Amino acid sequence: MGSLFGTDGIRGVAGSYPLDTPTIYACAQSLVLHLERRLGRPPRIVIGRDPRESGRWIEGILIRGMLDHGADVVSAGVITTPGIAYLTRTQAFDAGVVISASHNPVPDNGIKLFSHRGMKFDDAFERLIEEDMERVPEPPKTIVSPWLDSDESLRRSYIGYLIDEIGRGLDLSGWRIALDCANGAASEIAPRVFEALGAEVTLFAAEPDGKNINRGCGAVHIEVLAGRMADASWDLGIAFDGDADRAVFVGSDGRVFDGDQTLYAIALQMNARGQLAGNLVVATVMSNWGLEKGLRE
């Protein structure tokens, strides 16, 4: 078996390897068996997904594999990737699973695994999962996927966290904000948060039907929102991708802010509010010296 896990979990076309039924089922049982060996008890796992049409099918196979091997599984339904990271960290889950292909088109999907700390498992853990997948028994020839009702309280908990903690002290009264939700996982969450903080919200691409995620919208097509901004009177535009693990910001004149500009603005705001822990900003290799110079000044 070649390497299954890339930089952002397992990715592929839904229904084809590595997102075929036997491989998905093997991933589920391998995750459970490895966690059980580590914990000395059956693990408790939360699963969430973006709204693309293959998500329910993949979720069903994962849940079947986990239940067959003794895990306690809870479905959060359609929720963002940061939402699952938050829930895994705060709701006593041993692992979290996100079913999403992020900004990719609708035929694709993926599986991301999170530890109880709300962070992606490291490469060493993922290698162990792959090794276990090669040793686990063959899955049943017929897999009957169970139906778990999603626990809506989990999504409400995450929305409350965004409003009460992340948005603490933030008053957006008088702000007119355009949100492009990519017909993805943020379609319900984002408007509720920004409206609760006082903003007047205009929504685009917030009607997911399972087939329209990222299609001509969202962060991967930022030019669409930028074009709208230039001809309207919004103060700010925000475009998410399919699972809302990325956001791109657009000014009232249609100017798109790059990642360094966004980091710089967020860092200054957090520092002014006394929320920048250690007076430290962590960037990626994509950031340049200009960001460091600006922050030092």
DSSP string across 166-225: ITTT---TT-EEEEE-TTSTHHHHHHHHHHHTT-EEEEES----SS-TTTT-SGGGHHHH
CA 122 to chain centroid:
17
Q: How far is CA 69 from CA 10, 36, 64, 284, in A?
A: 21, 10, 9, 38
Rounded CA separation 189/224 (Å) = 21
Specify the DSSP class assigned to residue 88.
H
pLDDT for the residue numbered 137: 67
Average pLDDT over residues 283-289: 88
**Which domains are delineated in the chain?**
10-155 (3.40.120.10), 167-296 (3.40.120.10)
Catalytic residue among 102, 115, 145, 187: 102
% pLDDT > 90, the chain? 77
Task: Tell whether the model's pLDDT for residue 257 goes beyond 90.
Answer: yes
* Residue with more model confidence, 276 or 180: 180
3-state secondary structure of 282: coil
pLDDT digits (tens, 9 = 90+) for 80-130: 999 999 999 999 999 999 999 999 999 999 999 999 999 999 999 998 998
Mean pLDDT of the chain: 93
CA 221 to chain centroid:
18
Is residue 16 annotated as a catalytic residue, yes or no? Answer: no
pLDDT digits (tens, 9 = 90+) for 157-168: 999 999 998 888
Average pLDDT over residues 272-286: 88
Task: Tell whether the model's pLDDT for residue 1 goes beyond 70.
Answer: no
pLDDT for the residue numbered 168: 84
* Residue with more model confidence, 196 or 131: 196
Query: Which residues, including other chains, have CB under 8 Å from residue 267's CB and lie 6 or more apart?
Result: 276, 281, 295
Average pLDDT over residues 142-154: 80
Task: Tell whether the model's pLDDT for residue 151 goes beyond 80.
Answer: yes
Query: Which residues, including other chains, have CB under 8 Å from residue 241's CB and lie 6 or more apart?
Result: 102, 103, 182, 184, 214, 218, 219, 220, 247
Q: How far is CA 139 from CA 27, 34, 115, 133, 146, in A?
A: 11, 17, 25, 11, 15
pTM confidence score: 0.92
* Residue with more model confidence, 138 or 31: 31
Contact 176, 234 (CB under 8 A): yes
Average pLDDT over residues 263-283: 89
Task: Tell whether the model's pLDDT for residue 207 goes beyond 80.
Answer: yes
Contact 221, 163 (CB under 8 A): no
* Residue with more model confidence, 257 or 284: 257
Task: Tell whether the model's pLDDT for residue 284 goes beyond 60.
Answer: yes
Two structure tokens written together for 273: 């509010």
Rounded CA separation 286/291 (Å) = 11
Contact 51, 185 (CB under 8 A): yes
Rounded CA separation 200/212 (Å) = 25
Task: Tell whether the model's pLDDT for residue 2 goes beyond 60.
Answer: no
| Lowest mean per-residue pLDDT among 98-102, 131-135, 196-200, 205-209 | 131-135
Report residue 152's pLDDT band, with 50, 70 and 90 as the boundaries.
very high
Average pLDDT over residues 270-287: 88
pLDDT for the residue numbered 249: 97
% pLDDT > 70, the chain? 96
